[in-house]
Structure 1
Amino acid sequence: MNLLSSARIMKHIFQYRLHWNERDTHYQYKIPGSPKFMGPRDAVKLIKDKETVIVCGIGGNQRISILSWALREVFEETHHPQNLTLITAAGLGGRGKVPGTLEEWAVEGLVSEVICSHFETYRAIMEMAEEGKLAVHCIPLGIMAALVKAAVKGEQSVTSTTGVGTFCDPRVDCGSEVFIPKRYSPDINNRFSKGLITVDGDKLRYQMPKIDVAMINAPAADAEGNIYIENCSTICESKEAALATKKNGGKVIVNIGKLIEKKPDQIFLTADQVDAIVYYPETEQTCSRRHDDPMLCLTDHFEGDVESGLETVRLMNKLGGITPKRSKSQMCIAEECADLMQQYVAPKSYVNIGIGLPELICDTLQKKGLLSNYTLFTEGGVIGGVPAPGMFFGAAVKPDKITSSPEVFELANERLEATVLGFLQIDSEGNVNASKRGEGALNYVGPGGFIDLSCAAKTVFFVGAWMAKGEVHTSHGVTEIKKRGIPKFVDKVEQITFSGQQALKAGQNVFYITDVGTFKLTNEGMTLIKIREGIDLQKDILDYSPMKIIVPH
């Protein structure tokens, strides 16, 4: 990237941070003879007390910022709507820092229940849960996508083997009920007295309440009220949510950033499938980029090369303070994972790459010239290209196709060859905790699509550090533990997000790649198959870890 391009991006991020909390919730754009077009405050007044509202999007993509601000203002002025149930399949928060996210809904009395798959970005909402001011239910992301699609046909539940043996399984742990305040009564909305997950034979039955309101971010509309998605970065479950809502006789509210001429062959939602359209020029395609000035590298008709798009995304993340510095030891983990992928994953296979350290595997595959060997996809419904890291998670650079979340999870269930995921803890049975950092709501992460993808993949690669808060240095191929930390490989994990027992039953290949060595799950247990040069087997691994380890002779 040349200096001029870098300077433009730096200026853009500076301007964005300077103005990111500015808004005009009284903005009005109306079209004579088309009552669907209205201002944000009028749109949110369509929402009634105790209704169930679904908001679509993932990460920094498809935020309905002006509607969230308007809803908060209207509630603070009128105390209505009250006790909403908020369904948001993926994380759309701002970690308590970024304005205009769904954390604007974190006002006591506005929301009484939240149903989601991933909570790490919802700091303000989880603070309310910690204080006993709302209930939190967790359902895996892929299952939530399936539930929304099922709702289009009027169905309120789905059955699946996904989640069996994990915390979602009421026989194992809490099921959907992650945080239910002691003073909380399910009679508030009279919906969740038994949770959202029950046992149904050898499967689990997942359910979701009927959707009353769908709130969607889309790029554009025409004067008739038809909705378009050209230049979107994701669409997630937007269409399914709209159709499910209409099936229930509910209301569909669409926040757009552009007005265009009618294009009959490109209509995403027809005017009769929409109840309210809020045109607001500042509406974003993705984090910091408006629909009228989109990041083309995240669209499916980007004409530039992948590298230039990745440079843009990386620089924006760096300037936003999102990108962590990666150590040589972490680079070695990525190298080992890439090598194992070459051995176990056939070319042209579908592969999913998770968030965090797994993103480094994309960089490694690219440097090795191996990225084109695989078709990558994201939970947001984006197929091909390179998954975008950081605040753009869910989108991809130069994707081949942008489809819906339900469709991409169906693809995963049918054809996913491998997934690369991070972890918090791993235990003697090969179980993985990727959802719970510790006690309390603020330490609850949630699985996102982790459970769906780890259940669907034929081969699973878990990548991460051997210890927490320790120091492992690698230099010239030799690894040394400089400071001992807290073991991440334990006898029993705090919460099961991946079941080793179920994986063995399913015949999956499961690898655990760390900065001291690599393990494989076998019928005998957690088997050490590789140790890094410089690491002492007895002192650094066997004596240190509470996990039962099998060392082949």
Structure 2
Amino acid sequence: MDSQANRRLITIRNHLRTLPNEFGIKRCPCKVISASEAAQLVPSNAAITISGFVGSGHPELLVNAVRERFEQCGQPRNLHVFNVAAVGDGKGRGLGKLATKGLVTRYTFAWSGLSQEFLQLAKEGAITAWNLPLGVMAHLLRDVAARRPGPITKIGLGTFVDPREQGGKLNGPSQADAVEVVSLGGEEYLWYKAPAKIDVALLRGTTADLHGNVSFERESLLTDALNQAMAAHNSGGLVIVQVERLVAPGTLHARLVHLPGAIVDKIVVAPAELHRQTITMAGHDASLTGEIRAPASHIQPMPLDERRIIGHRAMLEISRPHCIVNLGIGMPEGVARMVATHGQAQIPHALPAHLTTEAGMFGGFPAGSASFGAAHNADCIVPCATMLDFYNGGGVDMACLGAAEVDQEGNVNVHSFPGRQPGCGGFIDISQAAKEVIFAGTFTTGGLKVAVEDGKLRIIQEGRSRKFKRRVSEKTFAASSAKGRRILYVTERAVFRLREGEGIELTEIAPGIDLERDILAYMPFRPLMKDVKVMDKRCFML
């Protein structure tokens, strides 16, 4: 903790001690402590949960303090971290601070794409790790709070989290089972086992009063902080919340308070540099929190490249007004930009469309990169677990998700491939429940260069890696879960669709592309082909 923050804390404590007790009110012990004091409260062998989503809502001061204490005295040790979508910047900041041998020995997560340090430890055998669907992780923490045995759901059947596949295990079959197949009413479900308890929740909010009530008015997401707090409290554990400011008791409006002081044990005030709205971004964007609505004029058209072609073609699948759309991280982010810049001209019959993210955003313009999950000018912000209830129940009309590998049966892998192991995130929840699914990605990857000339696509340089495989290494989407839904695979040069029980069918080719030279030569299998059309020419025009 820096000296300025320490002086500020001492001043606050001294002020509290000298306040007159004019009304004879019995004061509670002060909940405001330093980050180093908070770190000392985390015991060894604890099950802990930490708030955040990709780049937002991370209690960086608290996490750093736990790591610093471990380096100083070797405590705490052997932590089991439960995380929904690990925050990081890919350069050492974020949850990856805890990824050091001895400090954490078990890691259960949905997505860790920007905190690859944990995955490296898993590869080395230094930690035991389980990768489970994002909705499962959110609901699992809620079930700890409610003392239920854990989520029982069809989400994950036939994928790598199915125990008949890998069971979500990163270290091999010898590690403990986190998932079981159960039968209810003659139907198969997966039971994801909830941990017995959560010992500590390290969370983050905006403003706390001196009784521990916490509001989130300057946070871009609610994440799962409330469920995490309840899980720890109901386990007899500790709830520690990092905030940016303190106010007097009774000054926070009840409708603003997201974490009630009744379940918050300690408050730590963080300096601005360790309480960024997004971990990679200095400053504050009020349009991500609902404080203001930013003008849409700052959204610039995408350059006419492969990302725009894919985003454009996916956008054209939005076919009716008030369609509820989910957009994944990466390539699908281009759909939002295309809707903003070209939607009114090209799909006016389908507007308005309601864009959403699994982090809890309804409406607005979804943010990208490390701010993924949040949205500019959102209509509504709900907790992640609530949004996944909606998603799992079929609330999404159309989803656009990424694709790292696709095989001849139509299975897709996004969670584990050469060089990266980001985890499945919300991919399984969304792809198994959305009414229509578009898997978006370039045809090859790693150095691909294309050009659009006179409305025709030309491949300048092929990517080093081929995305279409005879069989994917692991299944994040199982083609067997299609159940009559429309499933498309959109690339910059071709569009495929799933024919259940038969495989994938080539349905569209970009103008200027040669079938044999540019498509079939880079596929280890021959797709079904019946009525191949030319992709919409608008996708190749400014």
State the TM-score bracket (shorter-chain normalisation): 0.7 to 0.9
Post-superposition Cα deviations, 1:383-433, rounded to whole Å, max 9, x if no partner, equal 211111112111110111111001111111231111111111101111001
- Residue 285 of structure 1 aligns to a residue whose secondary structure is coil
Q: Is the 8 A contact 1:132 1:181 kept in 2?
A: no
Counterpart of 1:349, as a letter, is C
Matched, 1:449 2:447: no
Who is 1:341 aligned against?
318
Q: How many residues align?
A: 497
Preserved contact between residue 386 and residue 399 of structure 1 (Cα < 8 Å): yes
CA contact (8 A) 2:85 2:109 kept: yes
Could you say which residue in structure 2 is the equivalent of 1:432?
412
**Separation in 1 of the partners of 2:280 and 2:515?**
48
User: In the aligned structure 2, how far is the partner of 1:476 from the partner of 1:24?
Assistant: 61
Q: State yes or no: 1:263 paired with 2:249.
A: no
Q: State the partner residue of 2:439.
A: 462
CA distance in 1 between counterparts of 2:487 and 2:376 reads 28
> 1:281/1:516 Cα in 2 relative to 1: closer, same or farther (>3 Å)?
same
Q: Which amino acid aligns with 1:272?
A: A
The alignment's TM-score, normalised by the length of structure 2, stands at 0.87
The separation in 1 between residues aligned to 2:173 and 2:103, in whole angstroms, is 16
Contact 2:294 2:376 in 1 (8 A): no
Match for 1:285 among 277, 299, 304? 277
Question: Would the alpha carbon gap of residues 498 and 252 (structure 1) be closer, same or farther in structure 2, given more than 3 Å must change?
Answer: same
Aligned mate of 2:385, from 401, 406, 411: 406
**Residue identity opposite 2:528 in structure 1:** I
Which residue in the other structure is 2:339 paired with? Answer: 365
Amino acid of the structure 1 residue aligned with 2:504: M
Partner of 2:21: none
> What amino acid is aligned across from residue 428 of structure 2 in structure 1?
I
Task: Render the CA deviation track for 1:128-177: whole Å, top value 9, x for unaligned.
Answer: 223221111101111111112222211131111111111111212x1121
TM-score (normalised: structure 1): 0.85
| Letter aligned with residue 480 of structure 2 | Q
**Which is worse superposed, 114-123 or 38-47?**
114-123
| Residue number among 70, 75, 89 corresponding to 2:65 in the alignment | 70
CA distance in 2, matches of 1:38, 1:390: 33
* Secondary structure, counterpart of 1:551 in structure 2: strand
Once the two structures are TM-superposed, the CA of residue 496 in structure 1 deviates from its matched residue by 0.6
Shift of 1:244: 1.5
Q: Is the 8 A contact 1:329 1:474 kept in 2?
A: no
Q: Please name the residue that 1:542 is paired with.
A: 520
Deviates more, 1:38-47 or 1:276-285: 276-285
CA positional deviation for 1:85: 0.3
- Is 1:204 matched with 2:190? yes
Query: How far apart, in 2, do the equivalents of 1:535 and 1:264 lie?
Result: 60
CA shift, 1:436, in A, is 1.2
| Distance in 2 (alpha carbons) for counterparts of 1:244 and 1:256 | 20
CA distance 1:389–1:526, shift in 2 (3 Å) = same
Contact 1:94–1:103 (8 Å) recurs in 2: no
The sequence identity of aligned pairs, in percent, is 30
Q: Closer, same or farther in 2 for the Cα pair 1:351/1:35, shift >3 Å?
A: same
Amino acid at match of 2:374: A
Partner residue of 1:531?
509
Structure 2 residue ranges without an equivalent (≥5)? 18-26, 345-349, 532-542
Q: Which amino acid aligns with 2:511?
A: E
Matches within 5 A, 1:59-208: 59-95=54-90, 97-99=91-93, 101-172=94-165, 174-179=166-171, 194-201=176-183, 202-208=188-194
Q: 1:360 to 1:155 in 2, by over 3 A?
A: same
1: CA distance, partners of 2:180 / 2:303: 42
Corresponding position of 1:375: 354
Summarize deviations over 1:443-472 as a string: whole Å, max 9, x none.
212111111111110000111111123433
Q: Over residues 235-274 of structure 1, what are the superposed CA-to-partner deviations in whole Å (9 max), with x where a residue is unaligned?
A: 1110011111111111100000012342242322222211
Closer/same/farther in 2, CA of residues 372 and 81 from structure 1, 3 Å limit? farther
Instruction: Summarize deviations over 1:251-305 as a string: whole Å, max 9, x none.
Output: 1000000123422423222222111100123223333567xx6320101231332
Query: In 1, are the aligned partners of 2:48 and 2:80 still within 8 Å (CA)?
Result: yes
For 2:38, give the aligned amino acid.
Answer: A
Contact 2:314 2:438 in 1 (8 A): yes
SS at match of 1:341: coil
Q: Is the 8 A contact 1:253 1:274 kept in 2?
A: yes
Instruction: Tell me the distance in 1 between the aligned counterparts of 2:443 and 2:200.
Output: 45
Shift of 1:25: 8.1
CA RMSD of aligned residues (A): 2.3
Aligned partner letter, 1:294 = H
Q: Distance in 1 between matches of 2:156 and 2:170?
A: 15
Question: 1:390: which partner in 2?
Answer: 369
Stretch deviating more after TM superposition (252-261 or 233-242): 252-261
Question: Shift of the alpha carbon at 1:530?
Answer: 0.8
1:417 and 2:406 aligned: no
CA shift digits 1:50-106 (9 cap, x unpaired): 1100001112211111111111111111211110001111021231x143x111112
Partner letter of residue 118 of structure 1?
W
| Aligned mate of 2:292, from 299, 302, 325 | 302
The letter of the residue matching 2:459 is I
Give the unaligned 5+ runs of structure 1. 1-20, 183-192, 315-324
Q: Deviation digits for residues 330-366 of structure 1, max 9, x if unmatched?
A: 3222221111223xxx311211111111111111111
Is contact 1:516-1:535 (8 Å) kept?
yes
Deviation at 1:369? 3.2
Partners of 1:124 and 1:247 lie apart in 2 by: 31
Name the aligned partner's letter for residue 212 of structure 1: D
Offset of residue 26 of structure 1: 5.4
The 3-state SS of whatever aligns with 1:268 is: strand
Identify which range, 40-49 or 523-532, moves more after superposition. 523-532
Structure 1 stretches of 4+ moved >6 Å: 21-25
Matching residue of 1:35:
30
Distance in 1 of aligned mates of 2:304 and 2:163: 40
**Residues 546 and 54 of structure 1: is their aligned pair in 2 closer, same or farther, counting only changes over 3 Å?**
same
Instruction: Give the match's secondary structure for 2:151.
Output: strand
- Asked if 2 retains the 8 angstrom alpha-carbon contact of 1:54 and 1:86, the reply is yes
